[in-house]
Structures are given as C-alpha cells and as structure tokens.
C-alpha cells in the first residue's frame, strides 16, 4: 500500500507538461510531419502530446529548437495557463 502510494506520488511528480499540441496546431502541422522533422516515430508525438511519455533532454531541446522557443516555453513541471487566460486574463470555464 505504502509502496503503491509512493509510486503514484513519484509518477505525478515526474509528469512534465508541454505545449506541443498547441504549437503544432498553430503551425498547421500534422503529427506525422512533426515526427518526421524531429526524427521520431509519429506515434511518439501522440504520446508526448498526451503527456504519456516524458522526452529525454536531448529530444526536449530538439522540440524547443524546432518551434524556435525557449525550453521553458514548451515544457514545464506544472500545468500551463490556458492561452485565453494568458492573453486576456480569463480563466478557463
């Protein structure tokens, strides 16, 4: 029980949030096109977007460089503020 609790806690703590889906949609890219540009399997992009896979530091830098943004604009340890809230100061409904 304690071990399970510890595992689930460490898993939630190790979650890395990202904006890949938003950035990809902004640029009108398909997952396959982004995967090809990053040199990964197209399914891996889906795993990244859903937060089911945390990229290596090397891949994280590659993704940030591809979008021309600093690393912390693409990845964060805490959930990102929704774009609408960031732009207009409105909370997500």
Site for another protein in 58-87 (CB under 8 A): 59
Length of the chain (residues): 93
Alpha-carbon span 30 to 2, nearest angstrom: 42
Q: What kind and span of H or E run contains 75?
A: strand 75-76
In the complex, what is the shortest distance from the CB of residue 46 to another protein, in angstroms, rounded to a whole number? 5
Candidates 7, 8, 30, 84: give the one binding another protein (CB under 8 A).
30
58, 66 in Cβ contact below 8 A? Answer: no
Asked if residue 21 binds another protein (CB under 8 A), the reply is no
Burial of 58 (0-12, 13-18, 19+ CB in 10 A): exposed
User: Which string of x and - marks every residue 35-54 that binds another protein (by CB under 8 A)?
Assistant: ----xxxxxx-xx-----x-
In the complex, what is the shortest distance from the CB of residue 54 to another protein, in angstroms, rounded to a whole number? 9
Which residues are near another protein by CB under 8 A? 30-33, 39-44, 46-47, 53, 55-56, 59
């Amino acid at each position: 029980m304690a071990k399970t609790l510890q595992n689930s806690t460490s898993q939630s703590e190790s979650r890395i949030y990202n904006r890949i889906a938003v950035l990809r949609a902004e640029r009108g890219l398909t997952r396959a096109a982004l995967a090809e540009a990053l040199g990964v399997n197209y399914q891996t992009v889906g795993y990244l977007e859903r937060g089911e896979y945390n990229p290596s530091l090397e891949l994280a830098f590659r993704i940030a460089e591809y979008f021309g943004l600093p690393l912390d604009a693409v990845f964060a340890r805490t959930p990102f503020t929704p774009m609408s809230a960031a732009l207009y100061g409105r909370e997500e409904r």
